[in-house]
Amino acid sequence: MTYCVGLLLDQGLVMASDSRTNAGVDHISSYSKLHLFLPAPDRYFVLLAAGNLATTREVVDRIRRDLDRAAVGAFDAPPENLATVNYLFEAGLYIGRVNRDVQLLHGPALREVGAAPEATFILGGRIGHEPPSLLLIYPQGNAIAATPETPYLQIGESKFGKTDLDRFAHPGLSLEDGARLCLVSLDSTARANLTVAPPFEVVLCPRDAMGPSQRLKLDARSPDLTALTESWEASQRQAFAALPAFAWEAPPA
C-alpha cells in the first residue's frame, strides 16, 4: 500500500508521500512515489502515485517517453504531452488516458491471477499564469480537484491520517505548516499500518514559483523527522494526560 497527500494552500502547494511498496507481506521494498516533471519553462508538474507499482511505473515512463519523442521531433511522437497541454485539467486528462492505456494492456493478465492493475494519482502543478492547482486522478481517468473548502486530497491508505487533516488543513496554512501537517498525517498512518513507511518525501511549491522551493526526503533517522515526531508524541501524551475527569470521578486528592 501507499499513502500520499496533497494540500492546496493560498501560499501554494504541498505534496507528500511515503516510500513503501509491498506485494503481500514478504515482498516489501522502497520506491519513490513522487515524480517531478519540468517539461518547459512555463510549467511544472508533481505527480504522486498509488496502486499497482508496475502500472504507476509504466505511466511515468510513458509520460517521459511522450515528452522525449516530441522534444526530438520523432515521427511517432504522440500529439499530446505535458509540454503541449494548456491547462492543468488537460494534463490530468492526459495522465488519466495514459493510466487507462496501461491498465487495458496489462489488466487481463493481472486479473487472471487475482491482481488489480489500477493506479490512482494526485497531480499538482502550474501552467502559465494560472495559479497552482491539485487534482486526484481516478483509475478510470476522471478527476476531482482540491478547493478552498476541501484543501486536501489523499490516495492510498488514507483513513489513518485523515483526522489530522480534517482538524488542521485550511487554505491559510503556511507552506511550512502544510509540510508539518503532511508529515504528522504520514506518521500517524505509518504507525498504524505496516505498508506505509519512511522515507517520506515532501515538496513545497510557492504560489508564484515554477517548481518546488524545497524537496525533502526524510528517512526515519533524519533530524527534521525525528524532531517532529518526538514533539508530536510528547504533545499527544500531554493532551491525553490533560483530559478532564468525568463528572462522577472522585476529584483528585
Stretch of residues binding a second copy (CB under 8 A), selected from 6-14, 22-30, 37-45, 239-247: 239-247
Among residues 30, 32, 142, 235, which is the contact residue for a second copy, using CB under 8 A? 235
Site for a second copy in 209-228 (CB under 8 A): 214, 216, 223-224, 227-228
Least Cβ distance, residue 230 to a second copy (angstroms): 9
**Interaction between residue 248 and a second copy (CB under 8 A):** yes
Among residues 242, 251, 252, 253, which is the contact residue for a second copy, using CB under 8 A? 242
Among residues 109, 192, 194, 220, which is the contact residue for a second copy, using CB under 8 A? 192
Among residues 166, 221, 252, 253, which is the contact residue for a second copy, using CB under 8 A? 166
- Secondary structure of the chain in the HEC alphabet? CCEEEEEEECCEEEEEECCEEECCCCCEEECCCEEEEEEECCEEEEEEEEECHHHHHHHHHHHHHHHHHHHCCCCCCCCCCCCCCCCHHHHHHHHHHHHHHHHHHHHHHHHHCCCCCCEEEEEEEEECCCCCEEEEECCCCCEEECCCCCCEEEEECCCCCHHHHHHHCCCCCCHHHHHHHHHHHHHHHHHHCCCCCCCEEEEEEECCCCCCCEEEEECCCCHHHHHHHHHHHHHHHHHHHCCCCCCCCCCCC
Residue 76 vs 166, nearer CB to a second copy: 166
Binding site for a second copy (CB under 8 A): 159-163, 166-168, 176-177, 179-181, 184, 188-189, 191-192, 214, 216, 223-224, 227-228, 231-233, 235-236, 238-240, 242-249
